[in-house]
C-alpha cells in the first residue's frame, strides 16, 4: 500500500476585539472619507479606529473611525 500524504487546511482564528480596543489602519482612499471636519480621498491615509457598541438595525459592535493618524 502506498503512503498518501493528505494536505490538511489550517485556519487561524483572530481573537474577537473587546469594546474600546483601538487599531491603526492605513489604506488608499479611492472614495472620499470624512472624519470630523476633514475629508480626504485619492491618497494613502492612516487613521485610528475604535471598537464600539452601535445601534444600527439593532445593537451590535463595529469599528468606528475616530481620528486621522499623523505619521511624520
Supply the DSSP string of 28-41, one letter for each residue: E-SS-EEETTEEE-
- pLDDT tens digit string along 6-33? 778 888 888 889 999 999 999 999 999 9
Strand partners, 67: 48
Q: How far apart are CA 31 and CA 41, in angstroms?
A: 6
Total length of the chain: 72
Mean pLDDT of 39-61: 90
pTM above 0.85, yes or no: no
Provide the Cα torsion 50, 51, 55, 56; round to 10°.
Answer: 90
Amino acid at each position: 500500500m502506498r503512503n498518501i500524504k493528505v494536505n490538511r487546511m489550517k485556519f487561524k482564528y483572530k481573537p474577537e476585539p473587546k469594546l474600546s480596543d483601538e487599531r491603526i489602519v492605513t489604506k488608499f482612499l479611492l472614495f472620499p472619507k470624512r472624519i470630523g471636519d476633514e475629508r480626504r480621498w485619492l491618497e494613502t491615509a492612516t487613521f485610528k479606529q475604535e471598537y464600539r457598541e452601535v445601534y444600527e438595525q439593532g445593537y451590535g459592535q463595529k469599528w468606528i473611525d475616530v481620528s486621522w493618524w499623523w505619521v511624520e
